[in-house]
Each structure stands twice: as C-alpha cells, then as structure tokens.
Amino acid sequence: GAGVSQSPSNKVTEKGKDVELRCDPISGHTALYWYRQSLGQGLEFLIYFQGNSAPDKSGLPSDRFSAERTGGSVSTLTIQRTQQEDSAVYLCASSPKTGDGYTFGSGTRLTVV
C-alpha cells in the first residue's frame, strides 16, 4: 500500500486478556520495527524484522510479548495476559532496507482496563 497500515487504531481490553495488533508495511520494505510509546515517554524499541533473518527481540519487555512476520510482509504483535502497564500506543515502522529512512504507521492505542 501507499503507507504503513496498522489495525485496530484503538483497542480497549480487560486486564488478563490477550490482544493482537497488526501491521501491514509498505510493499517491498524488508525492514519492520515495532515500538511502544507511553504518555510523555520516548519511543521504546520492541522488536525488529529484517527480511528472512531471525528477528531482534531484544526490546520485548517480557515473555508475554511476541511477534511474527509472515511471508516477509504483514506482522502481528501479540500481548498475552495484558496488564495495565501495557497501555500505550504501539507503533510500527518499515524501511526499504537496513539503514534507510523509516515510515511509521498511525499506531494502535491500547488501553487495558
């Protein structure tokens, strides 16, 4: 597509439930990143996919967080047993190749109640 698409744009969930967030990167972009942005905080790196290489999961805050990227395109970030501190905007970005400019999606605002 023309830009990075994320869905849903807003998600309210009950504490303890699992959620799935979707990112559809720009066609042909091989690099895909997930970030988290809490109110008043900077962007916190979560996970990075580059082509068919093993993802860099060094930013995932706990084992409740996981992500996959199927066919080198769409990515899904899954948060299991959500906690209130998971409430944040989850941003996805893609780039044509490592080290190139990054285009962000509009994010998913997750609220855990």
Partner 1 sequence: GQNIDQPTEMTATEGAIVQINCTYQTSGFNGLFWYQQHAGEAPTFLSYNVLDGLEEKGRFSSFLSRSKGYSYLLLKELQMKDSASYLCAVETGGSYIPTFGRGTSLIVHP
**Residue 26's closest CA among 92, 89, 85?**
92
CB of 85 to partner 1, least distance (A): 18
Does 98 help bind partner 1 (rule: CB under 8 A)? yes
Cβ-Cβ contacts under 8 Å for 17 (sequence gap 6 or more): 81, 82
Q: Given the complex with partner 1, which of 72 and 102 has the nearer CB atom?
A: 102
Does 84 help bind partner 1 (rule: CB under 8 A)? no
Does 111 help bind partner 1 (rule: CB under 8 A)? no
Q: Map tokens 């084992």 to a residue.
A: 63
User: Which residues form the interface with partner 1 (CB under 8 A)?
Assistant: 4, 31, 33, 35, 40-43, 45, 48, 56, 59, 91, 98-99, 101-107
